[in-house]
Structure 1
Amino acid sequence: MKITNILFASTLLIGIVSCSKLDEKPESLLVSEQFYLNENQAVSAVNGTYRKLYESGQSIYNSLFQIGVEMATDDYEAGPRARNAHVRAISNLTHDASNDRMEQLWKQSYDAINASNQNIEYIALISPEKINDAIRKRLINEAKFLRALHYFNLVRWFGPVPLVLKPVTSLSTEELYVTKASEKEVYNQIIADLKDAENLPNYKSYGDNDKGRASSGAAKSILAKVYLTQQDWSNAKLKAQDVIDKEGYDLFPEFTDVFNIDKKNGIEHIFSAQFKGNSGYQGNSLASRSAPADIPGINGDYADAWHAEGGLYGTFSKQDKRLNITFTTGMISPVDGKYYALAKPQFNKYYDESVVGNQSQSSKNLPIIRYAEVLLILAEAENELNGSTLLAQTSLNKVRVRAATGDIEKNLSKDDFREAVFEERRKELTFEYQRWFDLARRGATYYVAKLKAAGKTNAAPRHIHFPTPQRELNLNPNLKQHPDWVNN
């Protein structure tokens, strides 16, 4: 869905050049008059906001996460064909406020937030006879879910950030030159939005055309993760348990099912970035970015690589069913039928056998949160509250048993069980945009130690956040750099 002739007012705030003239009525004022007139338009507007998660190219959940965030971990590095100097800088931890990936993370997130703000504001104003009330409420809560998800990313990446909750309706400096809200204020808004979004339908109530939309379970699951990130263990446990007891999710019997195109939006998929190859450039670009470049007929980019010094591959036992889904060590060429061994393992989760030779058209979805992670959230929160109890062990073991790695050792200390959960997250959620968040939420000392042990010797405490983009600081005199990045 494309809206034309609309000035997304927040893009002024984040520094996108606008073609609107300052002496004209801001076009954002025309949105409700020209577009949000009936139910069909409201649905189209919210559909368009979902697309901002995973639009083609380097959008937030379509590779920008990987090249702008995950490269700064112990498990990933810029591959041989990652030629962008800004991406290589993140991989080497030499990035700074001028990095263009930081600009894109900020810019695209606020563009999506503004779209949600417009949806929330203007769908509420549609005449009752033009929209079903239940649909109105659902769409507004979907927009709140999406807004919360973007702010959750932003506050974890950048720390304090501007909290913009209304579409900008004028070009006044008061509306354009916003200041940063505290992390607490941002988290309070995230929680409020997600609590509203808990009123969304259960995922099973959606028809085939609406599979993949935000649901009550998605809101509860992200909320559990928000509480976990804040170390609010009690609420993290309660919310994860609520998802497990009431929302009807489960693990697929086999790990391979998680990435089976025929089982997309299935019983384990709580909320995913939706990809569809050969359909207007809506493919999952991670498949191409991680695929081999030197096997005839594969035509991969090999721009996202496993960081061997981090040792991730070696943490998988040979019987671990996740290993050969997560990595590949060689492939048969579709051109000459020969097997080609790779110099080192490469990521393989999103490789789509139906589009060999054109992996940019992979139709494999990218999980944003799935049931396995909710089990791991419960295990972690319970351990922090009460130690490695039967509940904590049972939750962790459900993930381990499916992987064929067996039950966790009993009677582990709280510290040892915590490390076991984090290592399980590392293996279960590889290449799903989770590693940097997990390292950063453990704190600077933990993050730096892990990266230096992996040979990334430039790691420093400031790297548990990203710098406020210099371009935004130049455009908005009321923005201040994160203290950790001042004079760096």
Structure 2
Amino acid sequence: MIYSRYLISFIISIGMLSCSKLTEQPDALLISEQFYRNGEEATAAVTANYSKLYESGQSLYNSLLQIGIEMATDDYEAGPRARNAHVRAISGLTHDASNDRMEELWRQSYDAIYAANNGVEKIEAIEATAISEELRQRLIAELKFLRALHYFNLVRFFGDVPLLLNTNSSLEAQALRVSKSPEAEVYTQIIADLTAAQSLPSQEAFGLANAGRATSGAARALLAKVYLTQRNYTAAAAKALEVINSREYRLFDHFSEVFEVAHKNTVEHIFSAQFQGNAGYQGNSLAGRSAPTDIPGINGDYADALHLEGGLYESFEAADTRRDVTFVSALVSPVNGQLYQLSRPQFHKYYDESVIGNPYQSSKNLPIIRYAEVLLIYAEALNEQLSGPSAAAYEALNQVRSRAGISSLNPGHNQLVFRELVLEERRKELVFEYQRWFDLVRQGPEYYMEKLHAAGKTLAAPRHIHFPTPQRELNINPNLQQHPDWINN
């Protein structure tokens, strides 16, 4: 019933909470009104909302999107030590509504949405003498950005989903049994929330002390992506151009700098999942999940693997500097100093050299949206809007290619060819950043099946451009209906 389990926990715990719970990584119980009495407490509680993106080893942006959706693409598969049968099912496209990763995608997304809704309500109710109006509106805008991000993911995962914009204080069964809203309504709310979030300070105005918070640039960049997904290419191009013309962001000189700890939350990073290993916080688990298991002293898990039949590794030109940042084919053991050749390339973007012995403690952030993607959004949107690539579309795409060390494209491609070139550039630029499945499915079922069948994943079917509504949610809420493509499948 989506909110019911969170609501019941909240009611039981109201009398048990105290300010001592307000730590660097607050837990989900920070929803009590006791933590929204003034500006300082409201700021801490909103900060806690960000942690729902990455707060554990299998939270949304700390591997759940990888094992929950990216396995169902031509670029990834469950590695030799992927222990969860449900993950292996997604990799082989045999998953169904009982899949536990579907349940987690749904549950964690709505948990975060509940926290955002609760925060908006509580901050709106704080006495004027206890919080400045400027801070009140900023914190609400941050929560709306986070709510929009989670709904954007949900509507792409599942299609029609319940649209919940407030907390429900009633324990009446009917009040807890919500129905789905059409995709169009969900997108309308996403756009409204992101439009409001454009009022947030810029990255520069926030300063390093607030690195990682949602900004006006993040709202605009995510809006461009939302419009692109909706095929509103005119709006997508215009919003991407706003980000470009703001000059708040630029490409790093070298692709490797995007993933260096020393450069976190700087010129190319628009919004990222924040990781900090070995400091009582949370490391980036993708580093450990993709690291090898058979090299002394590295202690990887090799649960995420490259799907060789997809041809991703071979698609990189020899001069493309992104390949050897993204993948590794040999590693030196920190124990004996020997060089070990790997049987196949493995993902290496998030491997943190400062914690060789425990890659799960990687402090490398995971980009949710960065400037390179904005350039690619702009190039794609212009191509679709103008029925072919313009000079500006080539310029945007070639900026990304030039940084990668490969030659610029010359004019003369038609719309279809340029579209595929942009998608292939996204594929290579954004490996292991939770983008491939979204890119495939927004092109439609035929495109998705063509790519997966060519990669040997022959069970790919039209229904796989969405995931099934979790069976557990259907069982406890009779007002929910299964996605039509998944009925009798």
Q: Which TM-score bucket, shorter chain as reference?
A: over 0.9
Which residue of structure 2 aligns with residue 199 of structure 1? Answer: 199
The answer to whether structure 1 residue 115 and structure 2 residue 115 are counterparts is yes
How far 1:375 moved relative to its partner?
A: 0.2
The aligned counterpart of 1:359 is 359
Q: Following the alignment from structure 2 to structure 1, what is the Cα–Cα distance between the partners of residues 379 and 445? A: 23
Q: Which aligned pairs between 1:64-463 and structure 2 lie closer than 5 A?
A: 64-386=64-386, 387-463=388-464
Local SS of the residue matching 1:270: strand
Letter matched to residue 473 of structure 2: E
Match of 2:3 in 1: 11
Aligned with 2:345: secondary structure?
strand
Q: CA deviation at 1:30?
A: 11
Contact 2:82–2:303 at 8 Å: present in 1 too? yes
1:10 Cα deviation after fit: 4.9
What runs of 5+ residues in structure 1 fail to find an aligned partner? 1-8
Match of 1:469 in 2: 470
Per-residue CA deviation, residues 191-245 of structure 1 (Å, 9 max, x unaligned), is 0000000000011111322011000000000000000000000000000000100
* Cα distance in structure 2, aligned partners of 1:10 and 1:317: 47
Question: Which of structure 1's runs of 4+ aligned residues deviate more than 6 A?
Answer: 27-30
Query: Aligned partners of 2:276 and 2:175: how far apart in 1?
Result: 38
Q: 1:219 to 1:61 in 2, by over 3 A?
A: same
Query: Match of 1:99, as an amino acid?
Result: N
Distance in 1, matches of 2:328 and 2:312, equals 13
Q: Distance in 2 between matches of 1:333 and 1:29?
A: 43
Q: Quote the offset at 1:16 in angstroms.
A: 6.6
CA contact (8 A) 1:10 1:167 kept: no
Distance 1:196 1:63, change over 3 A: same
Give, in angstroms, the shift of residue 169 of structure 1: 1.1
Q: Is the Cα contact below 8 Å between 1:63 and 1:286 reproduced in 2?
A: yes
Question: Partners in 2 of 1:469 and 1:179 — Cα distance?
Answer: 14
TM-score normalised by length of structure 1:
0.95
Give me the whole-angstrom Cα distance separating, in 2, the residues matched to 1:31 and 1:94: 38
The one-letter code of the counterpart of 1:240 is A
Cα distance change of structure 1 residues 172 and 247 upon mapping to structure 2, 3 Å threshold: farther
Distance 1:251 1:436, change over 3 A: same
**2:335 aligns to what SS in structure 1?**
coil
TM-score, normalised by the number of residues in structure 2: 0.95
CA drift at 1:45: 1.0
Spell out, residue by residue over 1:414-473, the C-alpha distance to the aligned partner (whole angstroms, 9 max, x if none). 100000000000000000000000000000000011001000011000000000000000
1:376–1:471 distance in 2 versus 1, CA, 3 Å: same
- Give the distance between the partners of 1:31 and 1:298, measured in 2 at CA: 39
Distance 1:33 1:456, change over 3 A: closer
Aligned partner of 2:24 in structure 1 is none
Number of residue-to-residue matches in the alignment: 477
Task: Kindly state the Cα deviation for residue 373 of structure 1 after the two structures are TM-superposed.
Answer: 0.2
Distance 1:453 1:437 in 2: 18
Where does residue 36 of structure 1 map in the other structure? 36
In structure 2, relative to structure 1, the CA distance for the partners of 1:286 and 1:30 (3 Å cut) is: closer
Q: Once the 2 structures are TM-superposed, how far is the Cα of residue 34 of structure 1 from its aligned partner?
A: 2.3
Relative to structure 1, the CA distance from residue 20 to residue 144 in structure 2 (aligned partners, 3 Å threshold; closer, same or farther) is closer
1-side partners of 2:404 and 2:34: how far apart? 53
1:3 matched residue in structure 2 = none
Give the superposition deviation at 1:35: 2.4
Amino acid at match of 1:462: R
- Provide the residue aligned with 2:25 in structure 1: none
Q: Percent identity of the aligned residues?
A: 62
Which secondary structure does the structure 2 equivalent of 1:382 belong to? helix
Q: Secondary structure at the match of 1:344?
A: strand
Identify if the C-alpha distance between structure 1 residues 33 and 252 changes in structure 2 by more than 3 Å, giving closer, same or farther: closer
Aligned to 2:22: none
Paired residues of 2:6 and 2:111 also in contact (CA < 8 A): no
Q: Structure 2 counterpart of 1:93, which letter?
A: L
Q: Tell me, in whole angstroms, the C-alpha distance in 1 between the residues paired with 2:426 and 2:319.
A: 17
CA distance in 1, matches of 2:314, 2:396: 24
Query: Residue by residue, what CA displacement relative to the aligned partner does 1:152-180 show, whole Å, maximum 9, x if unpaired?
Result: 00000000000000011111234200000
**Distance apart, 1:41 and its partner CA:** 1.1
User: How far has the Cα of 1:88 moved from its partner?
Assistant: 0.2
Cα distance in 1, alignment partners of residues 405 and 332 from structure 2: 27
SS in 2 for 1:63: helix
Distance 1:348 1:183 in 2: 36
Query: Could you tell me whether the CA contact under 8 Å between 2:224 and 2:240 is conserved in 1?
Result: yes
- The AA in structure 1 aligned to 2:46 is V
Q: Deviations over 1:302-345 (max 9, x none)?
A: 00000000000000011101011000001011111110000000
Q: Is the partner of 1:62 in helix, strand or coil?
A: helix
CA contact (8 A) 1:29 1:169 kept: no
Preserved CA contact (<8 Å) 2:33 2:122: no
Shift in Å, 1:18: 4.8
Is the contact between residue 97 and residue 470 of structure 1 (CA under 8 Å) also seen in structure 2?
yes
